[in-house]
């Protein structure tokens, strides 16, 4: 009597309390369930994926995505404890893969193993962003101009770099419709066409923060959609007349522009090394840009006179060393040529 109570009624193996043992329960339980197919909609142009009706950027390889999809699609019995899952992929065609999935774990404390095969169906659909780009959709234009001049090529390069950096950070934060659809350099400056108004104002703010100047916004009604008025915005941006790094001439002195605050320039006097504010209207003219200066070698020093070698012609020319600067012969100095005059900028 006692013995019958402690064996499994199905296999006769020992079982506490005489119940069906774990092994028999495990062999009779369906613990692994696989759908025969999973599908995914991807944009053929940019690779974005569509899930539950909305698009997102992937940032992963197709095989990695397939692994993720299969892992999510496979269902286990609640008492199953996973030890390992091994997925191998066969690429059948451009729009179909086959995933072989091997699973091991425990069920009711007994080791179990199983496998299944799923088809991965890759569907193609153009995403919202690519639709907008191919349809030349845009919400605004950032017009980069400068006061009384054309923006320099250096400023246009900077503005371009800033614009793309802002686009990248907005995309990374999930604003996938904040794209730059066009970037045109023309006679007056740079036009940056943007897919969202937020991107437009972020770019305009970032450029003025970095290069100075200011911008105004000019909305224009372009139509109506579902009862809502649709505007396009022109961000009219003006860089200051003088910008950081410019070498200017005022009251017969050369100075480097360190910053611009409205109509007041913060300048480094290149002869004395002192910093001062110069009202814009006192500037005689712009002599060049710090970045255009080149290295000249110091051939000799005689008191505060430097003999420096023209790197182009090899001819020695003389220039006064700024007070307090230790410039031994053999050193190099940065020289900007302003016509016949040499300006030591660093
Ligand atoms: Zn049993
Ligand atoms: Zn796309």
As for how many domains the chain has, the answer is 4
**Which ligand number lies closest to the CA of residue 16?**
1
Ligand with smallest separation from the Cα of 57: 2
The pLDDT confidence band at residue 192, using thresholds 50, 70 and 90, is very high
| pLDDT tens profile 319-333 | 988 877 788 888 999
Which pLDDT score, from 0 to 100, does residue 114 have?
94
Per-residue pLDDT reduced to its tens digit, 137-156:
999 999 999 998 999 988 99
Distance 127 CA to ligand 2 centre (A): 4
The predicted-structure confidence for 48-83, as pLDDT tens digits, reads as follows: 999 888 999 877 888 899 999 999 999 999 999 999
Q: At which of 96, 124, 152 does a domain end?
A: 124
Question: Does residue 19 lie in a domain region?
Answer: yes
The span from the CA of 330 to the CA of 306, in Å, is: 11
Q: Which ligand is nearest to the CA of 24?
A: 1
Same domain flag for 26 and 56: no
Q: Find tokens 């940065």 and name the residue.
A: 334
Q: Longest C-alpha distance within the chain, in Å? A: 119
Same domain? For 143 and 62 the reply is: no
| pLDDT averaged over every residue in the chain | 91
CA–centroid distance, residue 339 to ligand 2 (Å): 53
> Tell me, what's the pLDDT at 326?
82
Q: Sorting pLDDT into bands at 50, 70 and 90, what band is 5?
A: low
The pTM of the whole model exceeds 0.85: no
Buried b (16+ CB within 10 A) or exposed e, 73-90: bbebbeebeeeeeebebe
Could you tell me the distance, in angstroms and rounded to a whole number, from the CA of residue 258 to the centre of ligand 2? Answer: 43
Ligand nearest 48 Cα, by number?
2
Please indicate, yes or no, if residue 235 is contained in any of the structural domains: yes
Report whether pLDDT(4) > 60: no
Query: Of 102, 124, 146, which closes a domain?
Result: 124
Residue range 211-221: mean pLDDT, rounded: 93
- Structural domain of residue 308, as residue ranges? 246-344
Length of the chain: 346
Q: What percent of the chain has pLDDT over 90?
A: 66
Half-sphere exposure of residue 317: CA atoms within 13 angstroms, side-chain side: 16
pLDDT of 93 above 60 = yes
pLDDT band (50, 70, 90) for residue 1: very low
Residue 28 C-alpha to ligand 1 middle, in angstroms?
10
| Nearest C-alpha neighbor of 321 from the set 339, 294, 303 | 303
């Amino acid at each position: 009597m006692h013995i019958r109570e402690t064996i499994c009624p199905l296999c006769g193996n020992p079982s506490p309390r005489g119940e069906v043992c774990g092994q028999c329960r495990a062999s009779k339980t369906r613990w692994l369930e696989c759908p025969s197919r999973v599908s995914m909609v991807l944009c053929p142009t940019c690779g974005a994926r569509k899930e539950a009706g909305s698009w997102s950027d992937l940032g992963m390889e197709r095989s990695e995505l397939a692994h993720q999809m299969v892992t999510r699609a496979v269902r286990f019995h609640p008492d199953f404890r996973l030890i390992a899952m091994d997925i191998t992929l066969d690429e059948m065609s451009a729009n179909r893969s086959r995933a072989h999935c091997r699973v091991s774990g425990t069920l009711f404390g007994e080791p179990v193993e199983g496998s299944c095969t799923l088809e991965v169906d890759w569907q193609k659909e153009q995403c919202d962003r690519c639709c907008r780009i191919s349809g030349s959709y845009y919400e605004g234009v950032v017009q980069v101009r400068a006061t009384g001049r054309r923006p320099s090529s250096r400023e246009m390069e900077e503005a371009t770099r800033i614009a793309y950096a802002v686009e990248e950070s907005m995309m990374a934060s999930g604003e996938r419709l904040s794209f730059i659809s066009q970037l045109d350099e023309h006679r007056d400056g740079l036009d940056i066409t943007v897919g969202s108004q937020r991107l437009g104002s972020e770019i305009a703010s970032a450029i003025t923060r970095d290069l100075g100047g200011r911008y105004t916004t000019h909305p224009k009604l372009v139509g109506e959609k579902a009862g809502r008025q649709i505007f396009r915005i022109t961000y009219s941006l003006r860089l200051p007349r003088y910008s950081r790094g410019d070498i200017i001439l005022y009251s017969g002195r050369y100075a480097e522009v360190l910053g611009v605050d409205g109509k007041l320039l913060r300048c480094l006097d290149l002869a004395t090394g002192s910093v001062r504010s110069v009202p814009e209207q006192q500037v005689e003219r712009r002599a060049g840009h710090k970045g255009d200066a080149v290295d000249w070698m110091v051939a000799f020093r005689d008191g505060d006179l430097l003999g420096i070698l023209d790197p182009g012609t090899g001819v020695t020319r003389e220039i006064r060393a700024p007070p307090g600067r230790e410039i031994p012969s053999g050193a190099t100095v940065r020289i900007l040529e302003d016509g016949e005059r040499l300006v030591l900028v660093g």
